[in-house]
Amino acid sequence: MRKAERVHYIDERLQAQYPEPPIPLVHHDTYSLLVAVLLSAQCTDARVNTVTPSLWELAKTPSEMAQQAVSEVQQIIRPCGLSARKAAAIVTLSQQLCEHHAGQVPASLAALEILPGVGHKTAAVVMSQAFGDPQFPVDTHIHRLAQRWGLTDGRSVVQTERDLRQLFARERWNALHLQMIYWGRDFCSAQACDGTVCEICRHCYPRRRRPVVTRKA
């Protein structure tokens, strides 16, 4: 099967499986989404969703969070891992939002990327899910699937994002980002599929017999 045929099949299959993919991180506004995405680094969304309600009880806005002690924030978010670094980032970025952005999350990829603890992937997720700006942030699920489906060589997440942007229509990026994540969790996880098990892997590579060794993100 040619790459163009695989891209067409993948696009249609994911849209059929997840026609309206929900945002997996529970949030109540753009700021809470930003913090939740930051917390999700090297942590599952499910765990983040169990932690953030207590965090919002402590502080729900940038101005409230900016006044909190890092140690108190760290105590709440400890289950998410890397708690010292993440707590310091949450408090400091909240202060910067108040000082430089009138307490609002900026609708700019460049402005988001320079906030403490906010890298390209986190900024792209917020731009996509909060502001509807077409982005294709690549997480571990997407990086793995794109390699198994022959869409990238996986030598870096930067390259994977670049390849996916070139293969799929821009208006599909935001939905596909979520759809690939859900497919990776439901059918093509690192444990449940090795490139020969799930429906999309089998359809795209019906003659594949050996497991696919993928590069990690």
With beta carbons less than 8 A apart as the criterion, state whether 141 and 193 touch.
Answer: no
Which residues, other chains included, contact 191 with Cβ-Cβ below 8 Å and sequence gap of 6+?
none
Residue 126, C-beta contacts closer than 8 angstroms, at least 6 positions apart: 30, 33, 34, 37, 105, 112
Catalytic residue among 11, 133, 139, 163: 139
Which residue has tokens 């794109």?
Answer: 146
Backbone φ, ψ for residue 76 (5° rounding): -75, -40
DSSP 8-state code for residue 170: G
Told to judge if 139 belongs to the known catalytic residues of this protein, a careful annotator would answer yes
Q: What is d(CA 33, CA 30) in angstroms, rounded to the nearest whole number? A: 5
Q: For residues 178 and 53, give the distance between their C-alpha atoms in angstroms, rounded to a whole number.
A: 23
What's the CA gap between 157 and 117, in Å, rounded? Answer: 18
Find out whether 73 and 39 touch, Cβ atoms under 8 Å: no
Tell me which of 121, 153, 186, 194 is the catalytic residue: 121
Q: What is the 3-state secondary structure (H, E, C) of 75-105?
A: HHHHHHCCHHHHHHHHHHHHHHHHHHCCCCC
Give the residue numbers annotated as catalytic, written as ranges: 121, 139
